[in-house]
Structure 1
Amino acid sequence: MTKLTNLLTEIRVKKPLIHHITNQVTMNFLANGILAAGGSPMMAHHYEEAAEAVMAADALILNIGTVEPDLVKGMILAGKKAKDNGIPVVLDPVGAGLSSLRKTAVADIIDEVSPDVICGNAAEIAFLSGEKWSGKGVDGSLAEDSSELARYAATRLNGMVAITGKEDILSNGKETILIKGGDEMLSYVTGTGCLSTSLIGLFLAKSVTVDLTPLERAAGSLTYLGLCAERAVSGTRGPGSFQTAFLDELYLFRDEELDERGRWDVVLGGNSR
């Protein structure tokens, strides 16, 4: 078996515990997605237990989709505890530039926690990078090249950045990977972008020890999501049946398919697969 196959196999054997402090709209879908992929979800939100609970986890997901001040307090407490103990932290800055509350929340989380990965769409990542943001898209030269935006953001934010969309882009500032795949139907089901963040956390899980770089692990997670979406869309009638089929494919996906079917292009540094 090759490394990506070993990665998914080990995830399914060890069933890493992924702690979510996350979006109330998509919580059930994220829990089911992590279960189907082979992990174990935990949804401990309250600030009075978040820092204690994260000590049992293999990764921490922070998602500001339905943000509240007490929730942010819990995110920061859990995030700092996780980072102190080598537990990967992945942030999804949903709607980062939409309101003053979100702007302050995401700035505080980044400043105090320093997430290992920030995963969002191009507009959210551009906003965090200080680029012009209209709420629907990105203005300026970086909008023309998402790979350059990802590289720039990773350098500026001092961590790995994932930009999800028709093509997914990952960068740590030195290496940048373009991942093709998926299906447009993903955009018709609430929570598939949030699940990208959760799967990155699952594939980065502390208890999983496969000899891959964090960038390669994250690329494996988004490759897995895209391949499952491609298989799920065949024969489905619309978003409802697609969501069910997609969860099924996360569960049915064979470990070795990550190496057999997964492909990505390196646009800066590293090696293509």
Structure 2
Amino acid sequence: MGSTSNLISAADLWADLQAVRAQSPLVHSITNFVVMNYNANALLAVGAAPVMAHALEEVQEMAGIAQALVLNIGTLEPDWVRAMQLALQTARGRGIPVVIDPVGAGATRYRNEALAALMQAGAPSIVRGNGSEIMSVAGLAARTRGVDSSAASGEALDAARALARDIGGTVCVSGADDHVVGAQGRHAVLSNGHPWMTRITGVGCSASALVGAFAAVQPDRWRATLSAMAVLGVVGEMAAERTQAAGAGVGRMQIELLDGLHLLDEASFTARLKLKIHG
């Protein structure tokens, strides 16, 4: 790992959030029906500008004006797969970051075929998923139960490293600890967040959308992924505390997460960040 990785600090990650807030990058998301609204709200809350366009007739034009592209395979159909391929090729041609969220990878043959077609259309800049998904994308045997992970994030590290080398980019394995792995061997672990985040539809998918927003303003894709995941983890931790203090549950926490993305301050972020960088 290069020495620059060891110099990453909370102040650096906070600067990336400030850049998102200042620049309001346009993030083109072709995502799934279940999470579309929540992902768009998460992007707006953090300061980015979402566009959720998936029609074959316009995806190339939309990818042509966006600052990042996020592809999520949660609810697939043939036209959406083709639209994702066209958008990916356009984004790669422009050199903007492409994030793939391989939701449920390994669960069905069609899902695996669609993902393979995407990867063949062009290597993404960043892949973010849970342990089972990353293992599946990397071509390793993994047991997948719907879109939930049957593998802990740490179990998928070898797969993540192999995949990062294969795409020449960054891989994030989400879980109790989030592992962010770069093609040059960089590896960081984030230990923020709260178990309740897994009980709210769209939080993981929103993580991928946020990664796209941060990658739009931070050219170091590994650092951008680290920044996005750090912000969401800290916000999730604080949201759970506020929710529990109010005697409420995960319905309230959805709103607290969005408020946290909007209102997060540097002092809270710096004090709470749990980051380890491995050399």
TM-score with structure 1 length normalisation?
0.90
> For residue 225 of structure 1, what is the aligned residue in structure 2?
232
| CA shift for structure 1 position 259 | 4.1
SS at match of 2:54: coil
Q: Which runs of 5+ in 2 are unaligned?
A: 1-9
Deviations 1:36-59 (A, max 9, x none): 000010011111100111111110
> For residue 199 of structure 2, what is the aligned residue in structure 1?
188
Q: Which amino acid aligns with 1:171?
A: V
Distance 1:145 1:22 in 2: 27
Cα distance change, pair 99–90 in 1 and its aligned pair in 2 (3 A)? same
Do residues 60 (structure 1) and 69 (structure 2) align? yes
> For residue 90 of structure 1, what is the aligned residue in structure 2?
99
Do residues 253 (structure 1) and 264 (structure 2) align? yes
Cα distance change, pair 143–194 in 1 and its aligned pair in 2 (3 A)? closer
8 Å CA contact 2:69, 2:96 repeated in 1: yes
Cα distance change, pair 253–133 in 1 and its aligned pair in 2 (3 A)? same
SS at match of 1:195: helix
Q: Which amino acid aligns with 2:252?
A: S
Do residues 203 (structure 1) and 214 (structure 2) align? yes
8 Å CA contact 1:181, 1:230 repeated in 2: yes
> For residue 221 of structure 2, what is the aligned residue in structure 1?
214
8 Å CA contact 2:99, 2:208 repeated in 1: yes
**How do 1:81-230 residues align onto structure 2 when only pairs under 5 Å count?**
81-136=90-145, 145-173=155-183, 174-205=185-216, 208=217, 213-230=220-237
Deviations 1:127-170 (A, max 9, x none): 1112112224568xx98633333213212343211111111111
Distance 1:77 1:150 in 2: 26
Q: Which amino acid aligns with 1:223?
A: A
From 265, 269, 274, give the equivalent of 1:263: 274
> For residue 47 of structure 1, what is the aligned residue in structure 2?
56
Do residues 240 (structure 1) and 247 (structure 2) align? no
Do residues 15 (structure 1) and 24 (structure 2) align? yes
Q: Name segments (4+ residues, structure 1) moved above 6 Å.
A: none
SS at match of 2:236: helix
From 29, 33, 45, give the equivalent of 1:24: 33
Cα distance change, pair 156–193 in 1 and its aligned pair in 2 (3 A)? same
8 Å CA contact 1:18, 1:42 repeated in 2: yes
SS at match of 1:48: coil
Deviates more, 1:154-163 or 1:229-238: 154-163
Q: Which amino acid aligns with 2:228?
A: S
8 Å CA contact 1:154, 1:171 repeated in 2: yes
Distance 2:154 2:100 in 1: 24
> Percent of counterpart pairs with the same letter?
35
Question: RMSD of aligned C-alpha atoms?
Answer: 2.0
Q: Which amino acid aligns with 1:195?
A: S
Distance 1:99 1:22 in 2: 18
